[in-house]
Amino acid sequence: VVLVGERGDSATYVRMKEAAAAECGIECRVERLAADGVTTDSLVALVDKLAADSTVDGIIVQLPLPDHVNATAVVDRVPTQKDVDGFQPESLGLVALRGRLPPFAPCTPAGVLALLAAYEVDLCGKDAVVLGRSAIVGTPLALMLTRRGATVTVCHSQTRDVESHVRRADLVVAAIGKPEFVRGEWLKPGCVVVDVGTNAVDDATRKRGYRLVGDVEYKAARERASLITPVPGGVGPMTVATLLKHVVIAAARAQGKQTELEEDENKLIG
């Protein structure tokens, strides 16, 4: 894991990955770098060094990177076979092609699909609304839901009357980074809600001075939804679990092997 700077959220995410890796018996090395001491060229060189290291099966560049660094140039240096985050253009492109499988699906969308499968949520023929069109969550998830037979609407910052789209959805996935943007009364009774958002809001009653909420008004939403993910503790752990699964798959591939984990993920993607 390449971690640049001292952002509290990034540091927290990396600690979660370290702890989960240790629990699974996966060696996790973290390259911690000061933000003011790195350049695009120095990070590219580091990624190239890790890419050439046969003892490294997966490379994660923790985002966001500092503003003075060209994040695309750095992330694009991660070789596809070690891109366990699933951020490479090849992975996203192949997600869009039915009948083709990406080297690694983006972790959060793959984790969402695994969660829905675990609760036996039937996607075929259902109306799904994805709020957010980021390259690492919204866009690939919309493509993956389409592959699974859902009829998908993607709402974003230019969408008019988001509420009207949400009201008819059998599945709502919120990934826009706006605290409690989706109101409970918008939801179709019995729908399924997946809240990808994690937002810190001020709360003087908490020791740390804030609390974490999702993009959905949870208390009101759970009165209408048949299933809803909490924040924290919902999608986040699924993302980390998928990431570790990808590391195992990458390690097996490096030895010319295919694991049941890879077969399971291929079935999940469809």
CA distance 57 to 51: 9
Q: Which residues of 215-248 are buried (b: 16+ CB within 10 A; e: fewer)?
A: bbbbebbbebbeebbebeebbbebbbbbbbbbbb
Of residues 28, 105, 42, 108, the one with CA closest to residue 73? 42
What per-residue confidence (pLDDT) applies to 14?
Answer: 93
What per-residue confidence (pLDDT) applies to 7?
Answer: 84
Q: Which of 62, 83, 195, 215 is catalytic?
A: 62
Q: What are the DSSP calls for 251-266, one per residue?
A: HHHHTT---HHHHHHH
- Which residues of the chain register pLDDT less than 70? none
Q: Which of 17, 82, 126, 245 is catalytic?
A: 17
139: left (phi over 0), alpha (psi -120 to 50) or beta: alpha
- What does R_g of the chain's alpha carbons equal in angstroms? 19
- Residue owning tokens 């690939």: 140
Active site residue 203: no
CB 184, CB 220: distance < 8 Å? yes
- Residue owning tokens 């077969």: 263
Of residues 2, 151, 7, the one with CA closest to residue 74? 2
Summarised one tens digit per residue, pLDDT across range 14-63 is 999 999 999 999 999 999 999 999 999 999 999 999 999 999 999 999 99
Active site residue 85: yes
Q: What are the DSSP calls for 154-186, one per residue?
A: EE-TT-S-HHHHHHT-SEEEE-S--TT-B-GGG
Q: Which of 57, 83, 85, 195 is catalytic?
A: 85
Active site residue 17: yes
Q: What is the DSSP letter of 1?
A: -
